[in-house]
Chains A and B, each alone.
Chain A
Amino acid sequence: MLPTDRLDYSAIIQRPKLQLPGGARLAVWVIVNVEEWDPKEAMPRTVLSPTAGGTPMPDIPNWAWHEYGNRVGFWRMLEVFDEHRVRAVLAVNGSAIGRYELIARAALERGWEFIGHGFTQKNMQKVADEPDDIRKTAAAIRGFAGKNPRGWLGPGLTETWETPDLLVEEGYEYVCDWVLDDQPVLLRTRTKPIVSIPYTQECNDVAMMLIQHHKASEYYDRAIDQFEQLYVDAAHSARVMALVVHPYIMGAPHRLKHFRNALAHIRGHRDVLFWTGEEILDWYLAPRPPID
């Protein structure tokens, strides 16, 4: 289905007002992406381009650079969530749960939400059997966390024309690939609708550090600028803000403090909720009380 078949254009100014509980202005959700990179495939991202070009295989340096995130960086990052008592959303490759079980356990013990992120870190358009991949990912999460994932983020946000249809058919309730709004919206599928929750390519360490090549401090600066504008916008109707991190990027020793400082700044506002994706989903889908 074309995107325009899934939803009609809608201007944020023309919708009924959304209200968060307790008069909160914003719901902030933090997504930690934990992936397994297959050393037999081309690496999803690289920090070091090959000498004299080309795509050498295997690509050990870039594999190892990502692996650092799961061996060391994640554990550094975890201290920040504990310190600020924030429950994150773990967007996890199905295969990574078994491979990095200690990480999955740390997330489960803290009550983080698990969402599907592909069975492996591979473009959904190159996955041989997409329904099977989506199903296997749900099974891996259910097997470990004891319940089905309600949310899905495509690897690299990739989708086929069919992905939202398949997600609903496999029991998922929300999707993160559609960064087209500051509020949740409904997408039509060939069965019942799925909710799109605002994820981000803007406050996302992959886009900022690996593609745009910003200094680490830009993560903090941009997160604050993003937050302050959304906070102002939310005077009229509630907004959702996402922050996205990967252990191999923001978990590097020289970057972590900029994530910590961003979280601390936002945490200092009493009228801001730190929610998981499913809390945002349940709030959005709940019958809305009349606006006074």
Chain B
Amino acid sequence: MIPRERGAYSAIVDRPPLCLPDRARLVVWTIVNLEFWDISRPMARQVLPAPTGQVLLPDVPNWAWHEYGMRVGVWRFFDLFARLAIRPTLSINARVCEEYERVALAARDAGWEFMGHAWEQMPIHRVEDQAAMIAKSLDTLERFAGTRPLGWLGPGLTETEDTPDLLAAAGVKYIGDWVYDDEPTEIRTAHGPLITLPYTVELNDIPMMLVQHHESAYFTQRCIDSFERLYSEGADRAKIMAIAIHPYISGQPHRIKYLEAVYDHVNRYAGVLHWNGAEILDWYLAARGNR
């Protein structure tokens, strides 16, 4: 199905507002992405292009750059979110539970929500048996975390035309791949409705730092600018602001303080909730009936 077959165009101004409990204005949804990069394939991202543009395998420098996030960077995230008592959503390649069990255990023990994020980090278009990969990923996460994930984010947000159908059939309730609104929406699949939650490619360290090459400090500025606009709009209708981070990027020593500064800023405001995807889903399913 192409996107239009899953839902018609809808202008946000045409919808009755959604309301948050206790007149809160905005939900901050933090998503930490943990990935497995297979050294036998081209790396998912590169900080250092090969000399003279030759793509050679194995790509040890870029593999190691990502590995730093798992060895060092992610522990800066755990410290930050423990201090703030925030339990983010963990978007996790299921293979991480086997290859980096230490990290996955820390997230589980901290009560983070596990969200499906494929088996390993490669475009979903290149997965031969997508249904089997989805089942294996969700089963692995369920075994590891004790509950079956409600949510799913494609690797690099990728989908094929039937991915939402396969996800709904596997019991997934929400996806993050459709960054097309400030509110959750419902889309059609061959196996019943699926909810989209407003994940982000704007407040996301991959587009900002690796694609657009902004300075580290700009992460704070862009998040605060988004927050202030959405907080203002939140007086009339509930808004959700996602922040998407990766330990090998935002977990770098020179970047972590700019992430911390975002939370320092937003936590000075009343009416700001820190929810994970499952909490947003529960609220939306109830709140849309009331509007």
Contacts and interface: CB of A to CB of B under 8 A. Distances in A.
Interface of B: 2-4, 9-14, 41-45, 121-125, 154-161, 163, 177-182, 201-204, 206-207, 211-214, 218, 221-223, 225-226, 229-230, 233
Contact of B207 (A39, A48, A51, A102): A48
A16 interface: no
Contact of B11 (A47, A75, A213, A256): A75
A111 interface: no
Given A39-B4, A254-B226, A50 B161 contact: no
Contacts of A254: 202-203, 222-223, 225-226, 229
A51 B122 contact: yes
Nearest to A217: B221
A257 B225 contact: yes
A40 B2 contact: yes
Interface stretch (A63-71, A130-138, A188-196): A63-71
Contacts of A51: 44-45, 121-123, 155-156, 158
A207 interface: no
Nearest to B153: A61
A173 B83 CA distance: 63
A48 B13 contact: no
Given A63-B3, A64-B178, A99 B9 contact: yes
Interface in A21-65: 39-40, 47-54, 56-58, 60-61, 63-65
A180 interface: no
Contacts of A63: 3, 180
A216 interface: yes
Contacts of A56: 123-125, 158
23 contacts: A47-B211, A50-B123, A50-B158, A52-B43, A52-B123, A53-B42, A56-B123, A58-B160, A60-B158, A60-B163, A61-B159, A63-B180, A64-B177, A75-B12, A76-B229, A213-B211, A213-B214, A215-B221, A215-B222, A252-B226, A253-B233, A255-B225, A256-B229
A251 B282 CA distance: 29
A266 interface: no
A72 B182 contact: yes
Contact of A71 (B10, B125, B225): B10
B12 A72 contact: yes
A253 B226 contact: yes
B159 A60 contact: yes
B9 to A, nearest CB: 6
B55 to A, nearest CB: 9
B45 A257 contact: no
A257 B229 contact: yes
Contacts of A76: 229
Contacts of B159: 58, 60-61
Nearest to A258: B225
Contacts of A186: none
Contacts of A252: 202, 226
A48 B211 contact: yes
Contacts of A48: 156-157, 201, 204, 206-207, 211
B229 A39 contact: no
Interface residues of A, number: 39
A64 B226 contact: no
Contacts of B179: 61, 64-65, 68
Contacts of B180: 63-65, 67-68, 71
Contacts of A107: none
A47 B14 CA distance: 27
A60 B178 contact: yes
A100 interface: yes
B259 to A, nearest CB: 16
A76 to B, nearest CB: 8
A103 interface: yes
Contact of A50 (B41, B156, B213): B156
B222 A216 contact: yes
A61 B121 CA distance: 16
A37 to B, nearest CB: 10
B261 to A, nearest CB: 15
A83 to B, nearest CB: 14
B42 A52 contact: yes
A52 B206 CA distance: 13
A129 to B, nearest CB: 23
Contacts of B124: 56
Contacts of B3: 39, 60, 63-64, 67
A65 B212 CA distance: 15
A101 to B, nearest CB: 9
A256 B233 CA distance: 13
Given A51-B155, A52-B122, A61-B177, 4 more contacts: A39-B2, A40-B2, A216-B222, A252-B202
Contacts of A255: 225
Contacts of A99: 9
Contacts of B214: 213, 215
Nearest to B183: A72
Nearest to B12: A72
A155 B203 CA distance: 28
A50 B44 CA distance: 8
Contacts of A103: 11
